Amino acid sequence: MMHHHQQQRSMYMDKGSHNSGGPSDFHMMPSHHSTSHHTNSHHSALPPHHQSASHHSSHHSSSHHAPSHGHHGGGGGLSHHGDFDHEPLVLNNGPPHHNFYQHMNQPMLHVSTDFSNVQGMSSMHNGSDDMDDNKSLNGQKRSREELNQKEKKRMFKLNETIHTLKKALDDAGVSCKKNKQSILDNTAHYISMLRNDLIIAKQKAEHAERMLHSNGGGQNKGYAPFERYFEYSSTPTLIMSMDIQVLRANKAFREVTGYSEDALKNKETLLSCLSADIGRARTLVHNAIDSRKTLRTVVQNAISNGRVTSSLSLTLLFDPQGNPECLECVLIPLEEEQQQYDMLKEDVALDEVSNLV
């Protein structure tokens, strides 16, 4: 068997020399165990009893494979004293400049340790860190929910405000679309228009006030004589509004009825002065307004000290534009007229008195 092993090794050596045409690559490649120094250092590290056994085994192996060592020594010029039986031979059958292991022309790739660190992060966290992370996630979730609720409330309030603006625009007669942008635009335009109207109204009021002060109350002075004439007229006269409210009552009217102007502000008292039948008094007022003509009639009216028969005259008064403004009431008791008529009959003939009447 040893002889067969030596023949195979000689065959490999001859084949390499024949293919390469020169000395074998094997003789040019120093072996890992080529020196006895490595073997001795290796055995020196062992304990004493192991060293003896190893030394015995090495001695036996070297004596057993002496022919093969002699073969290698005669073929190459390099002496090999190590044990090559337990390692496979690596031979290069190609050109001598092609080595079995190719040289690395580029630097090696850098292997990052980030991935391993990321994988190991979970093992670095203890139980308290996991609890803190859970609390943080729960806090973020609650914060998002609170923000969503606040946003919903804000949008609900905004929609209510826009709905109120839409209703206000409809009441003002401003037509607009139902979308929010149209409502906001029309609201801004309407507010701007109202602001301009307010500025114009203030300017007119200031101008009217300046005119009043510049005239020095001349208009009031102009009306003063007529106020005096109305107050001291011998004809009992009262001015009332269209809804039967007393405006002015002269001195003669107050004396005939026996009521002050404040007392006549009571609507029932005023109507009773026109006629004891309040329903008839209302009808007479409405007829005078509707006909727009002077209405004359004889009434039984109630005054402060009883009832008297009087002649009532109702006349509708108009403003400068021709619109009905108020009513004039003239009330003359018939007893006074009869007394005056009797006094005249004594002084003159009946025919003359009749012609006067």
In the chain, alpha helices (H): 2-20, 25-28, 36-44, 48-64, 66-76, 114-124, 127-171, 180-215, 218-231, 251-257, 267-274, 278-291, 334-347, 350-356
pLDDT tens for 81-104 read 454 455 555 555 555 555 545 555
Nearest to 283 by CA among 306, 299, 269: 299
Q: Which tens digits make up the pLDDT trace of 23-76?
A: 444 444 444 444 444 434 444 444 444 444 344 444 443 434 444 444 444 444
Task: Give the rounded percent of residues in the chain with a pLDDT score beyond 90.
Answer: 8
pTM of the predicted model as reported, rounded to 2 decimal places: 0.36
Query: What is the C-alpha to C-alpha distance for residues 303 and 71, in angstroms, rounded to an integer?
Result: 170
For 231, the token pair is: 């107050």
Residue 302 pLDDT: 86
DSSP reduced 3-state for 349: coil
Q: What is the pLDDT of residue 237?
A: 92
- Name, in order, each residue with C-beta under 8 angstroms of 102's C-beta and a sequence gap of 6 or more: none
9-18, 113-122, 316-325: range with highest mean pLDDT: 316-325
Q: Is the pLDDT of residue 125 over 60?
A: no
State residue 133's pLDDT score. 67
Query: Which range among 72-86, 101-115, 172-186 shows the weakest confidence by mean pLDDT?
Result: 72-86
What residue type is assigned to position 159 of the chain?
N
Give the C-alpha separation, 313 to 294, whole Å.
7
Question: Residue range 268-273: average pLDDT?
Answer: 89
What are the tokens at 332?
């003359």
pLDDT, average across residues 264-293: 89
| pLDDT score, position 93 | 56
Helix, coil or strand: residue 169: helix
User: Would you give the DSSP letter of residue 263?
Assistant: G
The CATH code of the domain at 234-356 is: 3.30.450.20
